[in-house]
Each structure stands twice: as C-alpha cells, then as structure tokens.
C-alpha cells in the first residue's frame, strides 16, 4: 500500500456516490488521498427518472449494463476507485400495504453474511475513514438501510482476526461517518437564501414533508465548494437517474458556494482523538495510525 490517506464511501446504488459527498471525495483525491466507492447493488430495479430517456427500449432491457457504464463515467470524473459488492437491487416498494421485497435482493440478506463482502474489501483497501448512511438510510429505501447495517457490522468485523478468516488480514478503520449532505439545516439555509433573492426554491415541498424531522448533528463540515462543479458533472453522468432540468440543478452555483460551501457529515465512531466540530474527515488520523 502507498503511504496515502485512504477513504471508503459505502453506497447503495450507482448515482448515490455522486449525490452524497461527491465534492468531498473529489477534494480529497485532488489533495492526494486514495478514495474508494463501494457500491452495494447494481441499481437493476431503479426507475428511469430522466424523462428524456424514458421509453427507450434498449435502456429498459439493459438497465444493469447502462447503469454500470454511467458509474464508470462518474468514477472517472470524480477520480475515485470503485468496486461492486454484487448484491441485487431491492427496488423501492410502493403501495399500502407495502409489497414484499423480491426474493434474493439485497434488503433480504442476513446482515453478518452480507457484511463479509464489505469486510473483504475493507481489508484489501485498508481505509482510515469510512462513510455511509445513518440508521434511516438517509431516506427509507431498503437498500440504503441495509447499506447502513452491513457497514456497521463490517466496521466491527474488519479488525477482528476471528471474524471472516478467509477475507484477508485484519484491518481496523479509524473513523466512521454518516453522510448528512442533504441535511435539514442546509436545505433551510438554501431555501431562505433563494426566497430572499426573489428566486424560486425547489425545497418548499421538501420542508413541508420534513416538519417533524429532527435535525441531525453535523459534526464535520468539509469545505469543498470549489468541487461542486465536479460533483454536478459526475451526477449528470448518471443520465438515467438525473433530469438535467430537474430540481438538483435549480440552485445557482454561486448561491450554493456562498450560502453553504461545505458537505457535512456526522461522526459516529472513532478510534482516534479528535475535537468537534471538525472540518476534515481525516482529523486525528496519521498514516502510522
């Protein structure tokens, strides 16, 4: 292994890495860190959300391959490495009552068994820092919640020599964060900034839905406004998932960079000393550690 700081971002689907913490990853890559995205599923059951591509028979029939190609393009834009864990997308169940999840999907895996794949990847890459979703998945998609669960399990298992003996030599990561890029605090700040400028805000309905949602603690705010453009370019690479004329891109870049120039995280596990609040996911980490 080279003597670089290393970060692993664990995500549920291709495109999640570009909408949650992407500017932070691009910043660290530019500063010389090694960054690996672990993608749990292939996004096989994801809907085609870009109206310009809906109804395309090739995309509908080859969605797995298309999304893999999109992921590769986004990876190159961000400058990160990327590995697939190989689980099958659960889809987002809808209806009342909710239908059962499809047999064999990621959301139905046994947590400790599924975590072994992530343990193997952690032991191979040896990250100092890991990012993932909170216990609610960021939003209640079964794959996001399962991503949280296997990451928490792998955090404990990776350094245990008795766990997963066939998954490589133990490695103990030092810090674990939850992505809080789309926090209530950020959303309110951007909404108020837009309305104060007489601009239309895409966040009004979001905030109505979030009236009873308690803000999460933002322990770590990484300044990365210079990389917001890279983030957006990577997100647009996921063409089946992102409408370029949609709400993701309705906030002028200069407003984003002025009002909320950071991406935000919640420190939940650490094996090194640090002082909160932080402005760096690697705060307290040394290469010798």
Cite the annotated binding site by residue number: 13, 16, 144
User: Nearest to residue 31, comparing CAs of 219, 227, 177?
Assistant: 227
User: Nearest to residue 157, comparing CAs of 196, 192, 115?
Assistant: 115
Rounded to whole angstroms, the Cα distance separating 188 from 183 reads: 9
Element at 192 (helix H, strand E): helix 184-196
Q: Give CA separation, 264 vs 21, 23, 219, 256, in Å.
A: 8, 11, 8, 14
Tokens (6 digits) for 19: 């909408």
224-228 own/partner pairs: CB under 8 Å, 24+ apart: 224/23, 224/24, 224/26, 224/27, 224/261, 224/262, 224/263, 225/23, 225/256, 225/257, 225/261, 225/262, 226/27, 227/22, 227/23, 227/24, 227/26, 227/27, 227/30, 228/23, 228/253, 228/256, 228/257
User: Nearest to residue 244, comparing CAs of 235, 253, 252?
Assistant: 235
Helix intervals (H) in 37-105: 57-61, 63-78
Binding region for Zn(2+): 13, 16, 144
């Amino acid at each position: 292994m080279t003597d670089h700081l290393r970060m692993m971002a664990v995500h549920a689907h291709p495109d999640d890495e570009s909408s949650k913490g992407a500017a932070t990853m691009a910043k660290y890559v530019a500063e010389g860190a090694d960054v690996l995205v672990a993608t749990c599923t292939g996004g096989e059951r994801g809907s085609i959300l870009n109206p310009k591509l809906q109804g395309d028979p090739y995309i509908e029939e080859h969605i797995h391959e298309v999304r893999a190609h999109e992921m590769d393009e986004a990876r190159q834009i961000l400058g990160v490495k990327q590995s697939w864990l190989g689980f099958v997308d659960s889809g987002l169940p809808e209806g009342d009552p909710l239908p059962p999840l499809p047999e064999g999907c990621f959301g139905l895996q046994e947590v400790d068994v599924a975590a072994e794949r992530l343990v193997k990847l952690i032991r191979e890459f040896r990250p100092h820092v890991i990012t993932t979703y909170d216990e609610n998945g960021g939003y209640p998609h079964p794959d996001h919640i399962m991503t949280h669960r296997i990451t928490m399990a792998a955090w404990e298992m990776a350094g245990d020599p008795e766990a997963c003996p066939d998954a490589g030599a133990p490695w103990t990561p030092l810090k674990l964060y939850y992505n809080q890029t789309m926090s209530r605090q950020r959303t309110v700040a951007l909404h108020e900034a837009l309305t104060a400028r007489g601009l239309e805000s895409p966040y009004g309905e979001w905030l109505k839905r979030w009236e009873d949602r308690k803000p999460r603690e933002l322990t770590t705010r990484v300044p990365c406004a210079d990389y917001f453009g890279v983030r957006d370019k990577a997100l647009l690479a996921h063409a089946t998932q992102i409408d370029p004329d949609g709400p993701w891109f309705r906030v002028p870049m200069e407003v984003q960079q002025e009002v909320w120039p950071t991406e935000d995280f919640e420190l939940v596990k650490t094996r090194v000393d640090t002082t909160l609040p932080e402005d760096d996911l690697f705060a307290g980490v040394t290469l010798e550690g």
